[in-house]
Structure 1
């Protein structure tokens, strides 16, 4: 199918708008009340739900840029991290590993998700593929999170893994919710996946 010059010209602007909008979405989810748990009080937030959702909707490149924009805004001092925090002080927090893992986690989840989207895929295959993609992003974020607790909270590997296990049930639920949201969005806007390839 031929693409009109107007459509091609509008594509970068639309992608930039999506990146900015979804970065704001992550920030909004981060500002909801956080619940500190575990030995180093890494908070339970809706940040990861937002990251999984953005990845499954936008795909690798746009999701990675959206999450990177969110992190940059927070590091520059905007109060967009959990508990309304921001600034470079977060680099020393036990939760920084999780924040750092958001970018590769979103990229990998988005990359895998877009392999399962398209009219030739059945609904069951698409749903299963998105679930696998979200879980892959979850695994990447967990690896960074455990490493962050080891470095910033001075925990040994076993203690950091035990601390991370507290978040697993909640994140599995968030993965399922993100899949449900992404399926609805892609059904309503099937061209979205094509524009992000």
Structure 2
């Protein structure tokens, strides 16, 4: 492989760029659809993340998540509750949003190593979700425990993770039901 061929494999096609931007926008819209339950609202962000990685693949799914995070970090109201800014990401629940990156990275690495058969993709998304939960919970404990407050990891899991597991598993199933036919149609284009 010559240097020019190696460079071309890292470029994005116009179709990929459009889909990355589209999924960053879809993730923002899904963040606005929320039902408050405790400290963290049930949103459809994770549904959009699952759709992005399953439809676009790990690399392009990762870039759609990074674009979404960048839009929010600069202040656009793309997060839950029409919020934006670095303060949302730095806040106690920001780790769960940043944790979306791990879903895409694990999916990307896993599909490279294990292939892209459906059972592997499901296992990779579940693994990514577990890592997202763990990262977000550590972030929450750290953010909440500043000053005189104290929060244990287990209490944070009870507040921020356990109530959301059934919803997130449902979002994973729904994302597969939607993206699998779309994926087949896109391959024909």
- TM-score bracket, normalised by the shorter chain, equals 0.7 to 0.9
TM-score (norm 1): 0.79
Q: Comparing both chains, which one has the higher relative contact order based on Cα–Cα distances under 8 Å and sequence gaps of 6 or more?
A: 1
Hey, which bits of structure 1, 4+ residues long, moved more than 6 A? none
Query: Does 2:50 align with 1:52?
Result: yes
- After TM superposition, the score normalised by the length of structure 2 is 0.83
State yes or no: 1:132 paired with 2:126.
no
Segments of 5+ residues of structure 2 without an aligned counterpart are: 1-7, 146-150
For structure 1, which runs of at least 5 residues remain unmatched after alignment? Answer: 1-7, 118-125, 193-197
In the aligned structure 2, how far is the partner of 1:191 from the partner of 1:158? 47
User: Counterpart in 1 of 2:40?
Assistant: 42
Deviations 1:92-113 (A, max 9, x none): 4221010110112122224435
Aligned length: 174
Match of 1:160 in 2: 156
Structure 1 residue 137 displacement after superposition: 2.0
Q: Which residue of 2 aligns with 1:178?
A: 175
After TM superposition, the structure 1 = structure 2 runs for residues 84-163 of structure 1, keeping only pairs within 5 Å, are: 84-113=82-111, 115-117=114-116, 126-154=117-145, 155-163=151-159
Contact 2:47–2:168 (8 Å) recurs in 1: yes
Q: Distance between the aligned counterparts of 1:17 and 1:43, measured in 2? A: 29
Partner of 1:73: 71
> Shift in Å at residue 183 of structure 1?
1.3
